[in-house]
Structure 1
Amino acid sequence: MDTCALITAFKSAAPDVFVNARVDTYWLHLPTDDTTLRALAYVDAGADGVFVPGLRDEHVIEQLVATLGETPLNLLAQLPLHRLGELGVRRVSTGSLPFRVAITQATSAVTAYATGAPTPAAMSYDEAQALTQVAID
């Protein structure tokens, strides 16, 4: 099943679920025209939003926002948040950034411990536990 058919089938089965269609043309180094064509095809198929990871060119962002009209464009947090807002971007994803930061810190802490260096600052165990507590009504 192609992506457009999949989006249409999904929206038919679950019309209230927000479908943010991912267009990987920038990761694949494809022409800008491919991005626009895919984005519009996905919107025509029923997508509620379009996610284009890797898009950083401000001129292209403005053009795509204008082309999509009311359909929100979602980008990775690769430009300052205020600038993305100025360009008309309505959804921003941190992608794998939090995971990569966590792995970097974990590696630094283990390396510091193994070499006898001071370990990086960290929240207390109780603070970490408090973040994982779920209120049950």
Structure 2
Amino acid sequence: MTDHNRSQKRAAFRDLHQSGCFVLPNPWDAGSAKLLESLGFKALATTSSGYAWSCGRADGQLSRAETLGHMRMMVEATNLPVNADFESGFADTAEGVAESVRMALETGVAGLSIEDSTGIPSSPLREIGESAERISAARAAIDASGGDVLLVGRAENFFVGCADLDDTLIRLKAYADAGADCLYAPGIKTREQISAVVTAVAPKPVNVLIGWDSDFTLQDLAELGVRRVSLGGALARAAWGGFIQAARSIVEEGRFDGFANAPSGAELNSLFRK
């Protein structure tokens, strides 16, 4: 990818956050990225869980090097901007986060997120001050490289069993003040929670996760002030669901009728043929 193309993708991605509401789906490999691009989506995001499962690993078990390699592959697989699920920055210190972010920028991503989770069940969230410092370090690394990559600050409260909305709002406001361009609290589900987050960090854009069957429409979320909607590992889980159902039907019942919704080989060959 040329520097010009990289800059164009990053500018286009930033523009998407200025008004309206768009869906940011999460492919997990080159094929799923190309398929989503063909359907007309405007940008894509990686999914740490979806990629980990495709490697036969649990979410959070991939190394920084493996994640960076995946990010580079996903950027090269599509003409669309790619936002990276960069987990907690693969470092224990703010300086380490900055180093990781500098490596991430070299992959060509248009955006990346930094979480405040620790991965430790007994103490699942970092202290707010420490988390904000890590966001600030990521911001400085991005600015030093030209400042055109979008930084997403994530408050993981609802994802790690600490469903405290007040604490979530305090965290998101701190991350916005520390330089996050977009704010994200995965796991919030009600209109009241979403509205509270949008109001707390306004005018900065908010990402909402819809990773389950939901009564919300894109229009509903737009009316609540949401700028972008991501799907996390939901599409990957849907693919795994179809695979598991078909395979179980064979092994448990000796039946071969689980392929009704599968595209034909000709369709897929046509999609991926260069």
Letter in 2 for 1:10: A
Percent identity of equivalent pairs: 31
Task: Tell me the residue number matched to 1:34.
Answer: 167
SS at match of 2:159: coil
Cα deviation, 1:13-33, whole Å, max 9, x if unaligned, reads 341001111110111324212
Count residues in correspondence: 134
Contact 1:51–1:73 (8 Å) recurs in 2: yes
Task: Tell me the residue number matched to 2:126.
Answer: none
Letter in 2 for 1:66: T
Contact 1:74–1:93 (8 Å) recurs in 2: yes
Letter in 1 for 2:171: R
- Consecutive unaligned residues in structure 1, runs of 5 or more: none
Whichever of the two has the greater Rg, that structure is 1
Contact 2:208–2:226 (8 Å) recurs in 1: yes
Query: Could you tell me how far 1:116 is from its partner in structure 2?
Result: 1.9
Query: Could you tell me how far 1:92 is from its partner in structure 2?
Result: 0.2
SS at match of 1:16: coil
Query: Could you tell me how far 1:12 is from its partner in structure 2?
Result: 2.3
Contact 2:136–2:179 (8 Å) recurs in 1: no
1:95 equivalenced with 2:232 (yes/no): yes
Task: Tell me the residue number matched to 2:270.
Answer: 130
- Consecutive unaligned residues in structure 2, runs of 5 or more: 1-93, 95-129
Give the distance between the partners of 1:97 and 1:133, measured in 2 at CA. Answer: 27
Give the distance between the partners of 2:176 and 2:194, measured in 1 at CA. Answer: 17
Give the distance between the partners of 2:204 and 2:149, measured in 1 at CA. Answer: 15
Q: Residues 124 and 18 of structure 1: is their aligned pair in 2 closer, same or farther, counting only changes over 3 Å? A: same
Query: Could you tell me how far 1:88 is from its partner in structure 2?
Result: 0.9
TM-score relative to the length of structure 1: 0.85
- Judge which range, 64-73 or 124-133, deviates more: 124-133
Contact 1:7–1:42 (8 Å) recurs in 2: no
Question: Which of 97, 107, 113 is the matching residue for 2:250?
Answer: 113
Cα deviation, 1:91-124, whole Å, max 9, x if unaligned, reads 1001111000000001112222332241231110
Q: Residues 119 and 64 of structure 1: is their aligned pair in 2 closer, same or farther, counting only changes over 3 Å? A: closer
Task: Tell me the residue number matched to 1:52.
Answer: 185
Contact 1:52–1:75 (8 Å) recurs in 2: yes
Question: Which of 209, 225, 234 is the matching residue for 1:76?
Answer: 209
Please give the root-mean-square deviation of Cα atoms over the aligned residues, in Å.
1.8
